[in-house]
Chains A and B, each alone.
Chain A
Amino acid sequence: MKEPSPEKKLRVVEDKCTGCLNCALICSFSHVQEFNPEKSLIRIKGTPELLSIEIDDRCDHCMLCAKYCAYGALEIARTGS
C-alpha cells in the first residue's frame, strides 16, 4: 500500500451519494484485485434513503474512488485549496 499523498485530500459530500458503490468496488479491486465492498477502504453505509460514507485510516488517497464517482459525492481537493 502506498503512502498517503500529502497534496490531495478527499472531499466527501454525502448528500450527493447515490449508493452505486463504484467507489468501494474500484477501491477493493485496486487493493486486493477483487470487487468486494467489504474489503474496500471506503465504506458506503446505511440505506438508499440515508447513506453515509466512511473512509478507513489506511486510505492512501489514491483518489480512484473520486474518479469513478459520477455524482460528485467524492471530490479531489488540493491541500491548501
Chain B
Amino acid sequence: MAYHAYSGKILFVDLDSGKSAREPLPENWCVEHLGGFGINNRLCWELMTPGTPPLDSSNPVILGAGPLVGTLAPGASRIMGNTRFPLTGAVASASGAMGLGARLKWAGYDHLVIRGAAYRPSYILIDDSEAQIIPAEDLWGLDIHDATDKLWETHPGSSVLAIGPAGENLVHFSLAIIDKCATLGRGGLGAVLGSKKLKAVVVRGSGGVKVADPKGFLRIVNNLYRRMERWELKDAALALGMIGGWEIYLNQLASGVSEEERERIKEAFGPQAYLEFERRRISCPSCFLGDKDRLGWDMRSTCSTSFLNAAILGAALGLNNAKEAVLLLDLLDRLGICFFTYLNLYLFLLDLKEREITDIKRYGEFLDLNGLKGAIKLAKSIAFRKGLGDLLSLGWDNIIDYFGSQAEEYASVIRGQDCIYDPRVSGLGTMEFEQLVSPRGPTSASAGSPTYLPGLPREKMVRLTSRMGVPEDALERIYPNDQAVNVGRLTRYAEDWFSLFSSLGVCNRHQINRLYHVDIFRDLFHAATGIDLTPKEIMECAAANWELYRRLNEREGLGRESDRIPSSWLTEERISRREGTLMDYSRKKRLTRKDLMQLLDDYYDERSR
C-alpha cells in the first residue's frame, strides 16, 4: 500500500543503548485504529508490560500524530502522548498541540517510541531521517522557556517539547510544554521524561504530507472554512481567543461570591484585561483559532498557554489583578507544573487551614496562602520539592494519606487526579460525568457534547448528537422523552467522538469540534488516506480505540472498581471556593448518589453495546 497522509514509519529511540530504529507502520493498524490516539494505544498494548512502574526506565513514552496532522484540515495539529502516568498509575493518553505533531509528520514519522533512560541529561533531535541523542547538561535545571529558547537558537525552525524543574525533580503532576505554549501530559509526563533524563524532544522536518485525492481533500477543507466563516461567533473567537467564552467561565469562577466580588473578577480578569495584555495571538498549525497568547506588560513579554488559564488562577486564588495572575501562570508553565492541579492543591490547603482540620502548622513557612508571594513560594516548593512541596509533589493519594480521612472530604479527586469541573456549579453534563469513568482520571477535553450548552431544545440536542455518529437506537436511550437526557449513556458517545478526533489528529476544542460531522470526517479521511470506511465503520474504529484504552487500564487493575464519586460533589458545603447543589446538566433536577450510581450503570451498559 502507498501510504497517503500517513508517513508510514514509527521511530524507536532507545535511550539505554543510544540507538534508534525505523519500523514500517503496519498497514492494518491504519484501518483498524486510524492513527494518533488509536495507534498509540495499540503500541502500548504491544510494548508495555503490565505493572511497569511509571518512573522506571522500562516505561515507554509514545508520541503519535494522526493522518490529518500536517495538512490544512482545520485544527489538525494534535499530538497524543501515551505513557504510564505517576499521578494515577494509569496508562493514559495526553493530548497537546503546537508544532510537534506536524513536524513529526514532515520529518517522516507518524509515531515516536522512546524507551530506556539516558545516563546523563540529554535531548532527542529528530531532523528528517536523522535521529540523535545529544547531551543536555547545559539545559538541565533551566526552566522550560529558557531551555526551549536555547534549543531554538541551535535548531531554528524546529518544534520543541521540553520539561522544566518539576519534571526533572519527578513531581507527579509535572507536564511537558510544546513550543512554550501547549501543555502535554497532565498527570506526570514531565516526571516520566525526567526519570529518563530527557530534557527535550526537538523535531524538524522538511518533508511534506501527500493525500490520496488532492482535489477532493481541498474541496472538503474549503467547505469547512466556509462553515467557519458562517459561524456567528467567529469574530468574537478571532478577537478574543479562549477568553471569548468568558461568561461561561465566569459562572464557575464566581460561584457563591458577592455581586461586588463578581464584578471585581469580571473587571480584573475578563476580556478588557486580556486586551491590555495581549501582544500576539498564537495558533497551532492549520488552526484558525489562535488559542495561545503572547502576553506583555511593562517591558516584558512571555508566551502563554492561554490568558484564560491566568484568569482562572487569578479569580480562584483571589489575586489582585491580571498582572499577578499572568506572572503566576508564567512561573507554573516555566517550572512545568500542571496549573489545574496546582490550583486545586492550593484551594485544598486553604480549606484545611481555614477550617483548622489538621495540623499543617509545621509547614507554616510554606503556607502563606494569601496573595502572589505565597503562591509563588508554594509553586517553587513543589517544583524543587522543599518542605511541604516535597509531600505535595507526590500527588493526591500521598497527600490524603498524610492529612487523613477528614481532609479527604475537601479533595475532589478521582483515580488519584483532581477534578477540573465541579458539577455542583456547572450541572452534570458529559464533561463533568466523564471525570468519574475516564481511564486517565479527570481531564478537560475528552467528553464534550451538547450538554455543554444547557437549555437547548430536544430537537437541536438530537441533531447535534447525531453529528457525533450516534446510532438511532442509542438516541432513543439518550433522549427518552422531551425533558430527559441520560448523561451516562451520552458520555459513551462523547468519548468515542473524542477518540475519533484524537485518532485523526484534530483538536476537539468546541470552536473546532463544531465544524465537523461524522460524514465530513469520513470524507476527509477517505480523501486523505484513500481508505474507504463508512461513517458507521469509522465510529466503530473510534469506539474500539476507546475500548482498547479501557482494557489497557483494566490490565493494570484500574477498571470500573476505580470509579469513585468524590464526597465533595454531594455536599453543599463551600469547598475549593465553590459551592452549589449537585444538579443535572439543565440545572433543573437535583441529583443524589443513587442517581449517579444509576448513570454509571447506564454508561457501562451503553459501552458494552
Contacts and interface: CB of A to CB of B under 8 A. Distances in A.
B283 A19 contact: yes
Contacts of A39: 208
Interface string B179-197: 1110000000000000000
Nearest to A33: B214
Interface in A9-34: 15, 17-22, 25-26, 28-29, 32-34
Contacts of B517: none
A47 interface: yes
B288 A22 contact: yes
B227 to A, nearest CB: 13
A29 B218 CA distance: 9
A49 B98 CA distance: 13
Contacts of B156: 45
Given A28-B208, A34-B209, A49-B294, A68 B282 contact: no
A49 B72 contact: no
Nearest to B149: A47
Contacts of B209: 34-36
A37 B280 CA distance: 22
A38 B209 CA distance: 11
Contact of A48 (B179, B211, B228, B238): B179
A18 B285 contact: no
B284 A20 contact: yes
Nearest to B288: A70
A49 B208 contact: no
A51 to B, nearest CB: 8
A80 B206 CA distance: 38
B206 A71 contact: no
B157 interface: yes
Interface residues of A, number: 27
Nearest to A39: B208
Given A28-B208, A48-B303, A68-B225, A20 B71 contact: no
Contacts, number: 85
User: Which of A20, A26, A32, A45 gathers most chain B CB within 10 Å?
Assistant: A20
Given A33-B214, A38-B208, A49 B286 contact: no
A48 B180 contact: yes
A39 B210 CA distance: 13
A10 B143 CA distance: 39
Contact of A33 (B210, B283, B284, B301): B210
A33 B156 CA distance: 25
B281 A35 contact: no
A45 B209 CA distance: 20
Contact of B282 (A25, A36, A37, A48): A48
A20 B303 contact: no
A51 B280 CA distance: 10
Contact of B208 (A18, A20, A34, A51): A34
Interface string B209-246: 11100100010000001001000000000100000000
B471 interface: no
A26 B72 contact: yes
A18 to B, nearest CB: 4
A45 B238 CA distance: 22
B290 interface: yes
Interface string A37-73: 1110000010111010000000000000000101100
A29 B206 CA distance: 14
Contacts of A22: 72, 286, 288
A71 B282 CA distance: 11
A17 B211 CA distance: 27
A25 B280 contact: no
B283 to A, nearest CB: 4
Contact of B301 (A18, A19, A49, A51): A49
Contact of B210 (A21, A34, A48): A34
Query: What are the 8 A-B residue pairs with the smallest beta carbon separation, nearest first?
Result: A36-B208, A20-B283, A34-B208, A18-B283, A70-B288, A18-B290, A38-B206, A35-B209
11 contacts: A17-B280, A20-B284, A25-B286, A29-B72, A34-B208, A34-B209, A35-B210, A36-B207, A48-B280, A70-B288, A71-B238
Interface of A: 15, 17-22, 25-26, 28-29, 32-39, 45, 47-49, 51, 68, 70-71
Given A34-B209, A36-B209, 5 more contacts: A28-B208, A34-B210, A38-B206, A48-B282, A71-B238
